Structure 1
């Protein structure tokens, strides 16, 4: 379930198409390789749809020590342990220069009941996280887009707890329990190479939902249905609680976000409904090219949240929030929504002893500008494998992303300037670009140096009311991921 072999994006698409063509979608029989990870982190091979053998431990440091894992697997049990260490240094700009550390350890246990005479295509999964270190994003940069998917609140917490069951020859897969949605919904497989969290669960969703929604490191009670009615179409639907921490939309010191242990399974706020349709294609075949397969995944989807969401400009008594006579509480509306599209496509591939491939991704999100700070978001990038001499499994990538403020959020910033002479929030779109290089040192060890440049940091906000806007930031990082 963890980083086990070198990343191979083009193999992902081929495996997906073969899996669908054979009528077998193995989501119930083995968790996705990224189920324990934030979606905006390096995506290993094998990836969803290309699962490793249940008794293959060669990609872990301890392998099948003394046959213990093989013995457990005989009874349907599989234990996995992953560790991630990151160091980030702000070279220029941001709030101030300096270095910081963050890390995570994750453990998971799965149980396949068919091994002891239980239901076929069933799987029980439980996982836990230990998150540590400081946030380079908030402490040193002040950016809206988090530098890393692992940059999260320090805690020791239960992550996911669910049971999955396949039906109709495993073409229909249902999961019930405490779920993390961002490993399956809105995900671009190529974007998962990059470390910036916005390339996983996008900025608009993490900012405009309660606690960022049921996304890493949070999960929420609910159900997820995945159905493969025919090749090459996959349909997904999920319904979960929309507030994994149980806190207010705007947490404060008096009423902070709760559920640091991950053991609160509340359904008191609202319901989050997500849907997605995926189409798996071979661009070479569609274009009539005499060429090796060029796999791609095209997705459209969206969500609707039944909870109450604040107006970004007006108060409960109808006044502008920045005005002296405004009530303390903002005006609230029932319901919120977002739509999105994801385009993942391999554009060049050469087979051989040293396979080479290049893939692109594009993702756009959109919602209204009344209840949402960010009404539009976009990410795009390029990943290339096999071009580094003598390093056939190394993957290089370059990507860009941005979040665009909604009209009410921009008006609120102007109101703040009008009434107080200060701008407490930004009005410009924050952009970031990332260069990254993932290199597998051992089958169980990946090292990934990373560079990010962010301009209009914080949306052009100031670190203090009497100072200029936060300078554009240049950041260097190093991610080291190990599987035990």
Structure 2
């Protein structure tokens, strides 16, 4: 089935390419994001880390509606959240260790706000995205931790086979939906592969997300729901060995995303707000609910180049005392505060210093509150 689909798409594009009336164009973009950071932590304060993500995207466009897209990527650096700080939500959305290989690889048909994709993609490219939250460096402000921690979700650095689409219902209403492989493409050692193999126990991920644009686009409201049909550990199990817990089929999550324009002084200067919420099925979830809220001020300072200032708070609740959340069983909740400032030096380069305070509330032991200090560089070629 997978080979037949690839062959069919290839034959289709060859047929289009032979037509003299078709306009064929190739575009290429390379982006490199890197961070230098340090932190305070109970056992490893003062460590310095250099982490980064290099991604190259090539697009073959055949007329204005059809395209083939190939993404290649490399990540480097350690995993300080996992190995040093111990925070649940991962404080840097670049953290991935050393990996290389394929990023997003897909065919797309696009006509205005109508689009259709088939291939291997990142769910967070089109779903559960807050535009104002993209400024921040913490992982949860990009996509809520209920999705990334409760599921084998296909989000950075991994992708999964999928069929997704967006249909414009009206000028102010769009409907997105998709079906994803229930298990993202696992890396082979450090190599990120293309893998569309399906497995009944791993299930499928079904998602739907209506989007409403209100008050002359001053408010963008997304209301999402997804169902994962795979097998999950029963978190109500109180046995000694968590891996011996019985399994339950299916996990459901409901989420909302709001992007609001609070004040606009002129075309380039404005103040915005975002709000994220998520509620997940508790008996099979690590994170039962999440709330994120943040402010973004664009060009608040009168400088020659663009600048952005952001302040955000995210709070994730881990399951109650009656639930076994595995290695995070002692964690009641985790709250992160991030203050960040982004300044463009050139159109192709910006720098972004940031500060994070992470409060980890424990059920039995003393709470811990590490801090993170970092500076991010964003290069576009």
Same fold (TM over 0.5): yes
Deviation, structure 1 residue 295: 2.0
What corresponds to 1:411 in structure 2? 322
Answering whether residue 168 of structure 2 is matched by residue 228 of structure 1, we say: yes
What corresponds to 1:205 in structure 2? 147
Deviation, structure 1 residue 368: 1.8
**Structure 1: 5+ residue stretches without partners:** 1-73, 115-119, 248-256, 286-293, 315-319, 417-422, 463-467
Q: Could you say if the C-alpha distance between residues 392 and 480 of structure 1 is closer, same or farther in structure 2, counting changes exceeding 3 Å? A: closer
Other structure's SS at 2:281 match: coil
How does 1:143-292 map onto structure 2 within 5 Å?
Answer: 143-166=87-110, 169-210=111-152, 213-245=153-185, 260-268=191-199, 269-282=202-215
Deviation, structure 1 residue 461: 7.7
**Given the alignment, which residue of 329, 336, 351 partners 2:251?**
336
**Given the alignment, which residue of 369, 372, 380 partners 1:475?**
372
Is the strand fraction higher in 1 or 2?
Answer: 2
Q: Is the 8 A contact 1:94 1:470 kept in 2?
A: no
TM-score with structure 2 length normalisation? 0.87
Q: Could you say if the C-alpha distance between residues 334 and 386 of structure 1 is closer, same or farther in structure 2, counting changes exceeding 3 Å? A: same
Answering whether residue 293 of structure 2 is matched by residue 380 of structure 1, we say: yes
Distance 2:304 2:366 in 1: 42
Q: Is the 8 A contact 1:90 1:140 kept in 2?
A: no
Distance 2:133 2:328 in 1: 32
Deviation sequence 1:52-107 (CA, Å, 0-9, x none): xxxxxxxxxxxxxxxxxxxxxx8410111111111111146575332111111111
Q: Which has the higher contact order (CA 8 A, sep 6+)?
A: 1
**Given the alignment, which residue of 243, 250, 272 partners 1:359?**
272
Answering whether residue 344 of structure 2 is matched by residue 440 of structure 1, we say: yes
Distance 1:428 1:135 in 2: 23
Answering whether residue 328 of structure 2 is matched by residue 455 of structure 1, we say: no
**Structure 2: 5+ residue stretches without partners:** 1-22
Distance 1:356 1:299 in 2: 24
How does 1:297-376 map onto structure 2 within 5 Å?
Answer: 297-314=220-237, 320-322=238-240, 329-351=244-266, 355-376=268-289
Q: Larger deviation: 423-432 or 340-349?
A: 423-432
Other structure's SS at 1:76 match: strand
Answering whether residue 140 of structure 2 is matched by residue 140 of structure 1, we say: no
Deviation, structure 1 residue 312: 1.3
Distance 2:205 2:158 in 1: 14
Q: Is the 8 A contact 2:181 2:205 kept in 1?
A: yes
Other structure's SS at 2:129 match: coil
The size of the alignment, in residue pairs, is 357
Distance 1:130 1:454 in 2: 28
Other structure's SS at 2:82 match: helix
Distance 2:79 2:298 in 1: 31
Q: Could you say if the C-alpha distance between residues 158 and 187 of structure 1 is closer, same or farther in structure 2, counting changes exceeding 3 Å? A: same
Distance 2:168 2:354 in 1: 37
Distance 1:101 1:215 in 2: 22
**Given the alignment, which residue of 334, 344, 352 partners 1:430?**
334
Deviation sequence 1:376-432 (CA, Å, 0-9, x none): 01100001122223256110000000110123xx32459x9xxxxxx9632321000
Q: Is the 8 A contact 2:356 2:372 kept in 1?
A: yes
Deviation sequence 1:260-295 (CA, Å, 0-9, x none): 42222221221100110001123xx6xxxxxxxx62
Distance 2:104 2:363 in 1: 36
Deviation, structure 1 residue 147: 1.4
Deviation sequence 1:224-276 (CA, Å, 0-9, x none): 010102111010000010111459xxxxxxxxx87842222221221100110
Other structure's SS at 2:223 match: strand
Deviation, structure 1 residue 365: 0.2
Q: Is the 8 A contact 1:94 1:473 kept in 2?
A: no
Q: Could you say if the C-alpha distance between residues 389 and 89 of structure 1 is closer, same or farther in structure 2, counting changes exceeding 3 Å? A: same
TM-score with structure 1 length normalisation? 0.69
Distance 2:315 2:270 in 1: 26
Answering whether residue 6 of structure 2 is matched by residue 102 of structure 1, we say: no
Q: Is the 8 A contact 2:41 2:85 kept in 1?
A: no
Distance 1:328 1:356 in 2: 52
Deviation, structure 1 residue 439: 0.3
**Given the alignment, which residue of 16, 24, 27 partners 1:78?**
27
